[in-house]
Structure 1
Amino acid sequence: MAKKIGFLLGMGTGYVLGARAGRERYEQIASKARGLWRDPRVQAKAEQAQSLAKEKAGQAGSTAKEKAGVAGQAVKEKAGQATHSAKDKMSRSDSSSDSATTSSTTAGSTSGTGAPASTTIPPRPPSPPTSTGSPTTNDPATPSGKLPPHTGGPGGTLS
């Protein structure tokens, strides 16, 4: 029903804008449109649509607020887990470096039988640096460590 009314209003608007019937015909059509809009049945439907829109907007707002709260709580939990995991890794890293130091200092001692008291485990090599996605250079001429901007243009050569 609403599509029909919208179509008819569109047709009427198109006719009014495109017609060459003059001011008299325009006034006639405009008068009918005002009368239709003032019809109590049309006003009742318009008020009904407006109240339904307000109701749905309120529901959507409360649902969005609820979902945002749930998402925020999930983010807090994940952040807490990540922090805990990082602390665990750091404490394991600290304790493993302490034991490596202890092992290396006791490697020269003997247990009384002439055999070494413990076996030295060599430390792990440092892990390579992670890339941030932007190329870097160790050139002291670029204080930020980033490569200079490309100046060759399309198909040109770099300096």
Structure 2
Amino acid sequence: MTEEPVGVLAGIARHAFPKAPMELVDHVDVTVDGGLHGDFRGAVKPGGRGRRQVTLMEAGDWAAAMAELDHAIPWQERRANLLVEHLDLPQTAGTLIGIGAEVILEITVECDPCSRMETIATGLKAALTPDWRGGACSRVKRGGRIAVGDAIHILDPSQGL
């Protein structure tokens, strides 16, 4: 696959069950059927499409929302799985993202901020709403192991998996 501009995986977070605290890890295994190991949201339900297995957020978007609100809240409070630096995540369903040497994710839909963001900080939901600031949801197309510091690429889908 042809690779486009390179970003960096700056953070990995997961939660074992709904509303559980986010756990930061420096590496994790990713599977097609289970998403991030240890994250409850990654499991594809029978008959499901796995559209929200792994969520990604740009570090710059989180920083912009924090600046707008004059807060300094840790990124994982957004409840996204992966924090991306130095790469503008495509806002197009079907875009393939390569992480590290093996993992491929497919962008499926915008990750809309929920009302839960308001419990973190008043105005956070609105600050994350414009221009996909809340991040992107994805499904796992090819699994493997990822680690903080891994390169992230936008892949050319015409090259095939």
> TM-score higher than 0.5 here?
no
Say which structure is richer in strand: 2
Relative contact order, CA 8 A, sep 6+: which one is greater? 2
TM superposition score category, shorter chain reference: under 0.3
**Whose helix proportion is higher, 1 or 2?**
1
Larger Cα-atom Rg? 1
